[in-house]
Amino acid sequence: MKQVKERRDDQTASDEEREDEQDLRQINIGLLGLGTVGTGVFRLIEQHQDDLQKQTGCKISVQKILIQNVAKERHIHVDEHLLTTDPNELIKDPDIDVIVEVMGGISNTKTYIAQALNEKKHVVTANKDLIALHGGELLTLASENECDLFYEASVAGGIPILRALVEGFSSDRVTKIIGILNGTTNYMLSKMSKDGLEYEDCLKQAQNLGYAEADPTSDVEGLDAARKIAILGTLGFHTELSLEEVDVRGISSVSKKDIDYGKEFGYELKLLATADRKNNEIELEVQPTFIPKTHPLAHVNDAFNAVFVQGEAMGETMFYGPGAGELPTATAVTSDLVTVVKNIKLGVNGRGTVAPYRLKKFKRKDNRYHRYFIRLIVEDEPGVLAVITQSLAQQNISVSKMVQKHYKEQQAEIVIITHEAAQQSFENWEKEMNLYSEKIEFASYYAVEGDDSR
């Protein structure tokens, strides 16, 4: 009798689960794009349906997928009736609740997202280029239509940094954000440091491994990181910032010799993206920067990303993880989707979407301070060093460390680490050194993060 009762209890529980499942509200998704990330999102929704239902209390169903070529062979099985080449089948369909954009591009994609928001559809996107250029405008449009617009996957792949800025620092004031935001360049600099490889060899390795594109310009010249720091700065400072306002310098001129000298002084070279705000004045930049080996970011290697956030109340916090790839990025997209679905169920969509509200004012060059690493190749003769040091003093730049080594016949190599100096003063000094180009060659320079005591 006991066994019969247990079977009846199991049957009753199973029937109740089926009834609960039938009562679940269904949230319909329109997916723009079925490339690497789009495929990952589709897989997660299909394979994690039970978990998603438990977390949201809703069924999540992909109803339409916008693609370019219906006949294209794919690595994943998708019912043909889900595929379309007409964006209106997603945007204008009243039954679709959320648009998930993973197709990339800017012009057409911006139009689709704007149309979707005007149709009162919520939007999740992984498009860093679009958000870096038009994020403020789209956030305003989302707020006006009481829609969610989330884009966690646009920065640092699977690291939940955007949500942390919006929610975790909501009661704090963010003063500085420093990030290793590009996996390709971090992989290359890591290999140059650990394996002693030159730039071109590391670039070929990165391309062979799929980290770098055939045309690596966006990565190695810092544009990818610049887009991401514009997004982080917009959220962290509540100010509309764009790609054009970021001072950008990439790693294509970095040499193994620079990295080796930096290591002698106790530094590692990283492509850092920085958003800094002091006295309501903002500084945005991407540049290869020497950081002390004691700094947490110095130990972020290979294709990993990390973001270091400083708040007035919180102090320093670091977020670390994989910065790209199908599943890390797809996970961030799906996480945003889960938040949208929860908001739909609670009826609070759009309330977490805050358009930028602070006025922006940028620091002048005479109010932007860095320490500098400078490498010079000079004629090894009396008076040359005096010219260099006197010129530095005239620009109010003081020397923290200096080393001179033999370079080749009748030439020496001088490496200088300065104390903090105004960017304008450094640029004035650089111009003055160019007047002595016959005797002094300006080989390289980099910013140095951190003070002497760190």
Q: Do residues 69 and 88 lie in contact, with contact meaning Cβ atoms separated by under 8 Å?
A: no
Residue with tokens 């954009």: 101
**In a structure prediction context, what are the per-residue pLDDT tens digits for the chain, which is 454 residues long?**
555 555 555 555 555 445 455 578 999 999 999 998 999 999 999 999 999 999 999 999 999 999 998 878 887 889 999 999 999 999 999 999 999 999 999 999 999 999 999 999 999 999 999 998 888 889 889 989 999 999 988 888 778 898 888 888 888 999 999 999 999 999 999 999 999 999 999 999 999 988 888 899 999 999 999 999 999 999 999 998 988 999 999 999 999 999 999 999 999 999 999 999 998 999 999 999 999 999 999 999 998 999 999 999 989 999 998 876 677 889 999 999 999 999 999 999 887 666 778 889 999 999 999 999 999 999 999 999 999 999 999 999 999 999 999 988 899 999 999 999 999 999 999 999 989 988 999 999 999 997 654 3
How many CA within 13 A on the CB side of residue 146? 5
Phi (first) and psi of residue 212, to 5 degrees: -115, 145
Q: Do residues 410 and 254 lie in contact, with contact meaning Cβ atoms separated by under 8 Å?
A: no
Q: What is the model's pLDDT at position 75? A: 79
Residue from 226, 377, 372, 225 nearest 290 by CA: 372
pLDDT tens string 115-138: 999 999 999 999 999 998 888 889
Sheet holding 122-125, edge to edge: 83-84, 58-66, 25-32, 98-101, 122-125, 149-150
Which of these is catalytic: 228, 257, 342, 361? Answer: 228
Cβ count near 49 (within 10 Å):
13
Fill in the amino acid letter for 249.
R
pLDDT tens string 133-164: 888 889 889 989 999 999 988 888 778 898 88
- Based on the residue annotation, tell me whether 228 is a catalytic residue of this protein: yes
SS3 sequence, the chain?
Answer: CHHHHHHHHHHHHHHHHHHHHHHCEEEEEEEECCCHHHHHHHHHHHHCHHHHHHHHCEEEEEEEEECCCCCCCCCCCCCHHHEECCCHHHHCCCCCCEEEECCCCCHHHHHHHHHHHHCCCEEEECCHHHHHHHHHHHHHHHHHCCCCEECHHHCCCCCCHHHHHHHHCCCCCEEEEEEECCHHHHHHHHHHHHHCCCHHHHHHHHHHCCCCCCCCHHHHCCHHHHHHHHHHHHHHHCCCCCHHHCEECCCCCCCHHHHHHHHHCCEEEEEEEEEEEECCEEEEEEEEEEEECCCHHHHCCCCEEEEEEEECCCEEEEEEEECCCHHHHHHHHHHHHHHHHHHHHHCCCCCCCCCCCCCCCECCHHHCEEEEEEEEEEECCCCHHHHHHHHHHHCCCCEEEEEEEEEECCEEEEEEEECCEEHHHHHHHHHHHHCCCCCEEEEEEEEECCCCCC
Q: What is the model's pLDDT at position 9? A: 58
The first and second tokens of residue 295, run together, are 């700094």
Q: Do residues 304 and 186 lie in contact, with contact meaning Cβ atoms separated by under 8 Å?
A: yes
The domains found in the chain, sorted by start residue, are 2-158+328-346 (3.40.50.720), 161-322 (3.30.360.10), 369-448 (3.30.70.260)
Report the C-alpha gap between 16 and 8 in whole angstroms.
Answer: 12
The first and second tokens of residue 268, run together, are 């590692």
Which residues fall within 8 angstroms of residue 358, CB to CB, at 6 or more apart? 237, 238, 239, 280
Report the C-alpha gap between 126 and 386 in whole angstroms.
Answer: 54
Strand partners, 445: 374
Residue from 445, 448, 444, 439 nearest 385 by CA: 439
Could you tell me the pTM of the whole model? 0.85
